[in-house]
Structure 1
Amino acid sequence: MGTPDTLIDLARYPVHQTGHARDIILDRVRADLGRDGCAVLKGFLTPAGVEILRAQAESVADKAFRSFNRTNPYFTKDDPTLPAHDPRRRFFERSNSFIPADNFPPASPLRALYEYPALSAFIQDCLEEENFYPYADPLADVIVNAADEGNGFPWHFDTNNFTVTIAIQNAEEGGAFEYAPNIRAGGENFAEVEKVLDGTSDTVRTLVLEPGDLQIFRGRYSLHRVAPLRGKTPRYVAILSYVEEPGMVGTPERCRQLYGRTLPIHHERAGQRADAYLD
């Protein structure tokens, strides 16, 4: 129980087998990623798999780090030398909770998924990335976003080039995923980011994920947010992170913001990034 072959609907998504059925899925996912940097595999988990991961998330929900602060899309400090309308000076209320990766030991169902070679190989094939490695961050390689009523995540970019999420449990209301595809694929593109923040951009798309759906998202390049939640039921979303260089971890600043603590490895490898984006 709780192994990849019981968690994943392998009949619908034969990620473990080469052949025509897998190739058809790859073609669709690649087309979606190429068009807007986002692809969704509906019902990727079995109903039993959804319940197993929900129970696991529930069992460690009290380990979540809950934070309430104001952030800009880059998680950087205010820079008074910039104009007031600059995106780097636009701060929004952020209230969210993350269950760090060290709460999911090797034998746990969620980590079994993350370490399943067939799944990581399938995701790499979807992304068509030559350089593809598990995230080396012991707090952030496989985590669960646990959000309660009123929580939301304002406009931001991800630390990693690509992120895989699995919807586990939805709130009663709210929690829609909104994103501006590939807004900084060629550079920071502050002008278009400003339009998104102002609500005047025509690039924003809205996506509602259901429990069991798997999403592959290039969040390093697409500005995105999660709408505030309503109701007593918490929203659980698993986040599986992969990177383009071996040994990468989060910055100390980002880890403190998201998990409330750092480990020695975060300070030892601070500044080890594959690009020069602000965050």
Structure 2
Amino acid sequence: MDHSGASLINLTRYPIHKKGSERDAVLKSARENLDRDGCAVLKGFLTQDGIAALTAEAESVAENGHKSFNRTNAYFTKDDPSLPADDPRRQFFDRSNAFIPADNFRKDGALRSVHDFDGFDAFIQDCLQEEKFYRYADPLADVIVNMASEGNGFPWHFDTNNFTVTLAIQNADAGGAFEYAPGIREGDENFDEVKHVLDGTSDKVTTLELEPGDLQLFRGRYSLHRVAPLRGDRPRYVAIFSYVEEPGMVGSPERTEQLYGRTLPIHWERQAGHRADAFID
């Protein structure tokens, strides 16, 4: 099968490689959605051939996914007994899924053909309007696939990056809806409203049913979000493209070991990048 980006991306609907009014219209829509609630979904970003190729590639390396099972709060921090029992920082939930590390995806494979397509990075940057925008230099994490199956899900959390770029590849048989509370901590931590989301009493939660081939841009550092539990035998595959604020950034050895089950020399040689804000991670 042709793994050129041109056959995998729906360039008729999303001419990301050509300057002009059609690309500008796509940018305008994405920016408006991001401004409104921190989320933009480009429906049908992949062609049917693209969906099939990325699914086949994910399945071919699925056995290399690193599974992790733990309990976490929305901030990925440890319990603090000095806080009240109902503080959101003390609410812990089961987290279980798997990440297929980036070095499983070949340069000439489908996933990297999308990532490396001429104009892809520039288009994402233009949508997000980020001045500081670099590919993550981590060889285990620049582009990965999240794999989840029956009973798995990702509980409520904030991202450690300012934004995430994800591509839906395959859905589970049922479940797996993407739920988020837009901009819930724009400006401050807003613990009271976070607590409402966690206990199911918030009216600020939006639900998205993403379909294979959809590209999602999401400002997850400011919007509390989760993936609802999955049901059925078919695994859910979602690609994650990572961009950061400074060149040369890689993950810390501790975080890399947790997510991917191993580290490389580069994780010990380089310092992980520092965040520009003071929010809890």
TM-score range, shorter chain: over 0.9
Residue of structure 2 equivalent to 1:86:
87
Question: For the Cα contact (< 8 Å) 1:248–1:273, is it kept in 2?
Answer: no
Tell me the TM-score normalized by structure 1: 0.96
1:67 aligns with 2:68: yes
Q: Which whole-Å deviations, capped at 9, do the CAs of 1:7-41 have from their partners, x for residues lacking one?
A: 10101110011111111111111000000000001
Please give the alpha-carbon distance, in whole angstroms, between the structure 2 residues aligned to 1:9 and 1:115. Answer: 15
Note the 1:27-176 alignment, pairs <5 A: 27-176=28-177
Question: For the Cα contact (< 8 Å) 1:159–1:250, is it kept in 2?
Answer: no
Give 1:211 deviation, angstroms. Answer: 0.6
Question: For the Cα contact (< 8 Å) 2:246–2:273, is it kept in 1?
Answer: no
Residue of structure 2 equivalent to 1:8:
9
Give 1:271 deviation, angstroms. Answer: 5.5
Please give the alpha-carbon distance, in whole angstroms, between the structure 1 residues aligned to 2:266 and 2:278. Answer: 21
Change (3 A) 1:165 1:271: closer
Please give the alpha-carbon distance, in whole angstroms, between the structure 2 residues aligned to 1:247 and 1:185. Answer: 28
State the aligned residue count.
279
Residue of structure 1 equivalent to 2:275:
273
Please give the alpha-carbon distance, in whole angstroms, between the structure 2 residues aligned to 1:6 and 1:271. Answer: 36
Q: Which whole-Å deviations, capped at 9, do the CAs of 1:201-242 have from their partners, x for residues lacking one?
A: 111100011111111111111111001111111111111111
Question: For the Cα contact (< 8 Å) 1:245–1:274, is it kept in 2?
Answer: no
Give 1:252 deviation, angstroms. Answer: 3.3
In structure 2, the residue corresponding to 1:144 is in which secondary structure?
Answer: strand
The structure 1 segments of at least 4 consecutive aligned residues displaced by more than 6 Å after TM superposition are none
% identical equivalent positions: 70
Moved more, 201-210 or 100-109: 100-109
Please give the alpha-carbon distance, in whole angstroms, between the structure 2 residues aligned to 1:245 and 1:270. Answer: 10
Moved more, 185-194 or 158-167: 185-194
Q: Which whole-Å deviations, capped at 9, do the CAs of 1:154-179 have from their partners, x for residues lacking one?
A: 01111211111111111110000001
* RMSD (Å) for aligned C-alpha atoms: 1.4
Please give the alpha-carbon distance, in whole angstroms, between the structure 2 residues aligned to 1:69 and 1:140. Answer: 20
Note the 1:205-220 alignment, pairs <5 A: 205-220=206-221
Please give the alpha-carbon distance, in whole angstroms, between the structure 2 residues aligned to 1:115 and 1:239. Answer: 14
Which runs of 5 or more residues in structure 1 are unaligned?
A: none
Please give the alpha-carbon distance, in whole angstroms, between the structure 2 residues aligned to 1:82 and 1:255. Answer: 29
Tell me the TM-score normalized by structure 2: 0.95
The amino acid across from 2:278 in the alignment is A
Please give the alpha-carbon distance, in whole angstroms, between the structure 2 residues aligned to 1:42 and 1:237. Answer: 14
Moved more, 155-164 or 142-151: 155-164
Change (3 A) 1:163 1:154: same
Which runs of 5 or more residues in structure 2 are unaligned?
A: none
In structure 1, the residue corresponding to 2:168 is in which secondary structure?
Answer: strand
Change (3 A) 1:117 1:131: farther
